[in-house]
Chains A and B, each alone.
Chain A
Amino acid sequence: MKTKINVNGTMKTFEVKPDEYLLDTLKNSGYVSVRRGCDTTSCGVCTVLLDGNPIASCSYLSCRADEHSVTTVEGIPEDAALIADFFGHEGADQCGYCNPSMALTLYAMKRELKNPSDDEIRTYLVGNLCRCSGYVAQHRAIRAYLEVE
């Protein structure tokens, strides 16, 4: 079935199966930043923004995204570069597998929460797992990113 999705500002038409998930549609179409992890909504690495809101693309049917906008990390190049700089400066990443999903979630958080507390930041990031960093350095990097006007 034909499904029209605005991906990173460009309207595209995808031929999808009724039980195809957005993660597969995007990956099969060259959006390689969208990662597959647990595939059951637990790890967060498949995060994309649907109309600006973070969702687990591994558990969102592609046909449900018809006529909606989807943002992958390729769609936020300036913020992604900024976040990568802060993460690098703070030594906040190792393997980098979770970085695209973290960047998208932080991008959404910055637009949704005004002056979030440390607890609000942690709560917002629940479900975005990083198996390398231990989160402390990430938290410093996130604070630095949020302070950028």
Chain B
Amino acid sequence: MKIDSYLKAESIEEAYKVLKENKDAVIIAGGAWLKLMPKTIGIAIDLKNLGLDEIIETDNEVVLGCMSTLRQIEKCKPLQELYDGIVSLSASSIMGITVRNIATIGGTIAGKYGFSDILPVLMAVDAELNFYKRGRVKLSEFMEEKRFAEDILTHIYIKKATSRGWFETMKNTAIDFPILNSAITKSSEGFRIVIGSRPYKAVKALKSMEFINDCKAPGADEIAQAADIAVDEIKFGKNQRGSEEYRKELCRTFVKRGLMAVIS
């Protein structure tokens, strides 16, 4: 990875203008994974001095600045109290503290990384994103967009709700990328089931969600059926960490465990 020039933006407008006018300009976020990028960056735009590293609690939401580090999210009390704390829990499972003090939530989201532990959780809690100029977009919609965002992600919104949450990630070692992860939530809007690190980017198990949401009082049989549906509807792949078959079996187990946890 090579960087030709570095810009510490003085305003979002300045960053936006430089990004739009220069095809080789990139917002670098925390920069933790920059070294792994094979490309040359013409202008590395840094948002670190724009006050976007704060986490604010309002009456209805927890608002994360895009430059909040994963460590801030891990330690954030309001997040620890939402959805059984799975947002903080998923952040804490990522690499070591020396990385979590660098990596930002904005960089994780904008990268749409398949290996992310936190993206499935943010989808399961129905997080919304705010992009400069473009406004608010649901994370699940952003994940489906074919092109990476050209605009600048500024904030992430998580609604406060009486809700349950469950998250699990399977790794060969604590500092490895996951073989598979899953986040499952239950709120007044129903169940959400998200599977990540397939090894592709995280997706909702929509048919499985529809099935379990239609069950009036799901028991062990319905939960097992929902797990089977999730395995059938989601595409899995293989890499050096695990086979497609192994991922399917992990998914089946995760969905069962997660549904039982949020129903209990």
Partners in one complex: yes
Some 8 contacts from A to B, beta carbons below 8 A apart, are A19-B2, A19-B3, A54-B98, A55-B101, A56-B102, A61-B34, A123-B92, A126-B96
The contact string, 1 if C-beta is below 8 Å from chain B, for chain A 45-79, is 00100100111101111011010000000000000
Size of chain B's interface in residues, with CB distance under 8 A? 29
Q: Does residue A95 face the partner (Cβ distance < 8 Å to B)? A: no
Q: Which residue of B lies closest to A16 (CB)?
A: B6
Q: How far is the CB of B11 from chain A (nearest CB, A)?
A: 18
Which of the four size classes fits the interface of chain A?
A: 20 to 34
Q: Which of A59-107 contact B (CB under 8 A)?
A: 59-61, 63-64, 66, 105
**B102–A59 CB distance below 8 A:** yes
Given A40-B36, A53-B71, answer yes or no on A63-B6 (Cβ-Cβ < 8 Å).
Answer: yes
Q: How far is the CB of B42 from chain A (nearest CB, A)?
A: 10
Given A19-B2, A53-B71, answer yes or no on A42-B92 (Cβ-Cβ < 8 Å).
Answer: no
**B174–A59 CB distance below 8 A:** no
Given A1-B6, A18-B4, answer yes or no on A64-B31 (Cβ-Cβ < 8 Å).
Answer: yes
The contact string, 1 if C-beta is below 8 Å from chain B, for chain A 122-143, is 0111111000000000000000
**How many residue-residue contacts, CB under 8 A, span A and B?**
83
Bound: A18/B43 CA distance, A: 9
Contacts of B46 in A (CB 8 A): 63-64
Bound: A42/B172 CA distance, A: 14
Bound: A123/B71 CA distance, A: 13
Bound: A50/B1 CA distance, A: 23
Given A40-B36, A41-B32, A64-B31, answer yes or no on A54-B6 (Cβ-Cβ < 8 Å).
Answer: no
Overall SS of chain B's interface: mixed
**A124–B97 CB distance below 8 A:** yes
Residue positions of B touching A, CB distance < 8 A: 1-6, 8, 28, 31-36, 41, 44, 46, 48, 71, 92, 95-99, 101-102, 174-175
Given A19-B1, A41-B32, A123-B92, answer yes or no on A56-B6 (Cβ-Cβ < 8 Å).
Answer: no
**A42–B8 CB distance below 8 A:** no
Residue positions of A touching B, CB distance < 8 A: 1, 17-19, 21, 39-42, 44, 47, 50, 53-56, 58-61, 63-64, 66, 105, 123-128
Bound: A102/B174 CA distance, A: 17
Q: Which residue of B lies closest to A68 (CB)?
A: B48
**A105–B97 CB distance below 8 A:** yes
Bound: A83/B101 CA distance, A: 23
Q: How far is the CB of A72 from chain B (nearest CB, A)?
A: 14
Contacts of A127 in B (CB 8 A): 95-99, 174-175
**A53–B95 CB distance below 8 A:** no
**B174–A61 CB distance below 8 A:** no
